[in-house]
Structure 1
Amino acid sequence: MPCSQALKGLETLPGIMHSTCIASGYPGFVAVNRRELDAHVPLSWPLFDADGTPLLAAGERLPSEADLDWLFTMFAPHRPLPEGASTGEAAGRTEAANSASPLDTATSSASTVYLHGLPVPLPIGAWLQVRVAPDAETTRVRARLIGRAPNGMLIITPPSAGETRLPLSAGDRLALWTFPGDNLYEFTCEVHSVHHGPFDYVVLSRPSQVRETPVRRTPRVDTRLVARLSPLDETSRASFTRMLADPEDTPEWLVLVRDISADGAGIVAKTALPEGCAHVALQFRVPIGADVVPILGMAAVRGAEGPRADGTWTYGLEFMQMDTRNKAAIRCFVYESRLTDPRATH
């Protein structure tokens, strides 16, 4: 069947293809009421956002009621329908969420979600890095996954670098990379067709030649983020706990986060930190896709340089105390930054 006919048929069959246009009512899932959850009780089922993106795995605990409130502020949590009522797609996503999660606090092996036998977890909206001719050393550009079908065919935005689009034709072979939050995936697809109406999109074959690379340490990327920094006293962990309980009494000032990894950050401060300051609390926000995620953690000061010519000081920070959700968010931010940078080679 020609692709145009197949896509036309999908319009009358909800659930066969899922795109970013579907913001709620995801097939096989039902919205969760805030009163159904208790932060001190393990989740009875995995939680998903309204578009089907996994949030938390079954059995996970939320650190506090405040974290639970945050979850409902940032997302629209859904859970799978009872097993007999779940669609194949919902069942696959449930299996993926339970097998591994970027928020899992335990030591986990590689996560796997199967699309008709292919271990490629690809949530709608995922960033992809794309190269024409997998074996060639050509420039990588980026695209975004906007839909997929049960047979594993993918629908993506036209791969581009800035305003320049990658010229594609049916039959072209592509190499693609994605980072869904735990491991890095590399795979190949063939261009099935290129469309310019009712909007521009590209249909790809089902992924093949999948290679999964565990990511134990994230690389460092340059960035420009504003952060609030608070010095902590010699009883650093107790001071950090007090700051969480009563942030109004905590002194703070703004600093520039100039580079970041899941393990630490480099900052630029307008003035020197207090003499003898060995630990700080750091609060900032990272963009992940269309979301902005708040980050809060304690860090050890590992190096200082200054004053520089402009009077500023630079410091290296090592994250010492940060919940796993925040670390997962930073990992996602780092790899999304690399996926949107054609120069990155992972």
Structure 2
Amino acid sequence: MTPPEESATQAAALSLSPDALPLGQPLAWPVVDRDGRLLMERGSILVGEPERRFLFAHFQPQRGDFEGPLAASADTDDPAPAAQPGARDMHLALGALMGLRTQIGGSGAPVQPCRLIGMAPNDMLFVTPPVDGGRKATLIQGENVEVIAVASQAVFRFVSSVEAICQSPVECLVLSQPAAIRRLRERKSIRVRARIPVRYRLAETGDGYDGIALARGISTFGLSICAPWALGKVGERIAIAFGLRSGALDTAIATSAIIRNVQLEAGADSPATLGLELDQLAAAEQMAMKSYVFDRQDDVLYWTDSER
């Protein structure tokens, strides 16, 4: 483990001052934030003083062309990989709709509906007997089942086993503690707080990026960013690039975005807050957006009732 004094010395060696970033000239090296996220590529140009002030007001710019111990020190504050979600993390409510599928018949077995009626302190689940074609399904003790659970915020899949089949005081199944829990999809669009550097280019196509903005909120469909100036008008498109870290997975996203709203903090040349709707996301990028949002659902900015 690197001593605190050595880490501080390394970080200071990488740090840049505003004077180190010339205006109107291509940068000789890339610029990264303190956590190693790319802010500006080599050859990027800071157009004016407002952009440089914005960069140092919201980030801690460092040179990004170092390798080895110095560069590695920039990641010392990264959060630990997210733990595997547990039964309580699903926030299942009594009466939640569930579907059981026996694993004996493989993935082609039918899903049989039931409802959650209780949860034990050890996270065992009590569910109503599942129904198959209007009749109670036939299950045996010790049988492994796959469960689809509809929670208030998302739909989950997990595996369990039938621990007991009870007839009294109420007729129910007792399922073992959920394992291998996976989120399948969101039920609503939610926006969570974020602090992500976003590179932007005013033209949809081309090479490189024109500047840097800061994402302060993110949903599965878009971003709320703070920029040094209004980057366009409502309905116009810009190109953006940013990275998402969810658990141990890093995903680079580069796409176009539609400006849905613009709010100026003061005059025409003042910093602006823009709402962006992302489009043309690949399947892996869509999954990264959803994973990022749901891993941070305890830090919700707000919920919306629509999908967009």
TM-score (norm 1): 0.37
Which structure carries more strand by proportion? Answer: 2
- Structure number with larger C-alpha Rg: 2
